Structure 1
Amino acid sequence: MAEKTTSEGLSADERAAVKERAKELRAQEKAGKSREAGLKSVLDAIAKLEPEDKPLAEGLHQVVTEVAPDLVPKTYYGMPGYANAEGKIVVFLQPAKKFKTRYATIGFEDRANLDDGDFWPIGFAVRAWTPSVEKKVTELVRAAVA
């Protein structure tokens, strides 16, 4: 019987995401905490998105830039993300098309200050960037960095 490898449980998309993340980490280590390098990587990631996901990433980017300018743009498994001063991701967009899901997700990592008792949401499904979505995301990002 052949010995199982650690990658047998991963789909081709998951393996590609792991490889992308390793590439990102090497590039980020070379660039340090450079806002310019991070901004370029995020803008490049947004430019590569499918038409359904691009407006969502552009909207999130605009909100973070305006509401949380101290967050540093950086990619996160190839996805647009924004990190705190320690380089840890606070908020990111998981595109629908990249993972073949019916909606994109705006996710918040544990560094986000969204705590609300013992139970609170950290991921939000989004299918279109509308004024009401922008308003809610603005409130969430503002709270996340408060």
Structure 2
Amino acid sequence: MAGTSKSKKVFSEAELEAMQDAKVERKKGKKADGEADLLAKVAEMSQSDRAIAERLHALVKENAPDLSPKTWYGMPAWADAAGKVVCFFTAAGKFDSRYASFGFNDVAKLDDGTVWPTAFAVTRLTQADEKMIAGLLRQAVG
């Protein structure tokens, strides 16, 4: 069947957009206004994603004030002094998922035995959820 192969899409449009966002973020480098960039991305989200992202941003500022807001692959993220992303939010709308997620990268100090969670599905935030996330944020930077 030579000559009849169809090219498969390796990356979705959303994934390609995220890679382009990362390229723009790298070009900005230290000139980036992380808070402004993060808030601009949050403003583009659907109301439900935006409500979660805004609350997470407030929780990070309250519980891990040494983390700096930024965008990471076009998503809200918070980085340590070395610029390494500690935690990030993926809106449900970003990849047409049924839920948003809040995750931690390997620089977060969450180690607990040999297995521990590093990402959480989020459909909305309750007071109990916020309390749990606040504790994880303090531990992540502790």
Q: TM-score, normalised by structure 1?
A: 0.89
Measure, in 2, the Cα distance between the counterparts of 1:56 and 1:41. 17
Return the offset for 1:8.
Answer: 3.7
Gaps of 5+ in 1: none
Q: How many residues align?
A: 140
1:47 lines up with 2:43 in the alignment: yes
Measure, in 2, the Cα distance between the counterparts of 1:17 and 1:100. 13
Alignment of 1:55-134 (within 5 A): 55-134=51-130
Alignment partner of 2:56: what SS?
A: helix
Match in the other structure for 1:18: 19
Alignment partner of 1:52: what SS?
A: helix
Amino acid of the structure 2 residue aligned with 1:46 = V
Measure, in 1, the Cα distance between the counterparts of 2:85 and 2:4. 38
Which aligned segments of 4 or more residues in structure 1 are displaced greater than 2 angstroms?
A: 1-5
Q: TM-score, normalised by structure 2?
A: 0.91
**2:34 pairs with one of 6, 29, 38:** 38
Amino acid of the structure 1 residue aligned with 2:65 = P
Residues 73-119 of structure 1 show CA distances to partners (whole Å, capped at 9, x for unaligned) of 00011111000000010011000011111111001000000001111
Measure, in 2, the Cα distance between the counterparts of 1:96 and 1:130. 17
Measure, in 2, the Cα distance between the counterparts of 1:3 and 1:107. 39
Query: What's the % identity of the aligned pairs?
Result: 42
Residues 33-55 of structure 1 show CA distances to partners (whole Å, capped at 9, x for unaligned) of xxxx1111111111111111011
CA RMSD of aligned residues (A): 1.9
Which structure's CA Rg is the greater one? 2
Return the offset for 1:3.
Answer: 10
Gaps of 5+ in 2: none
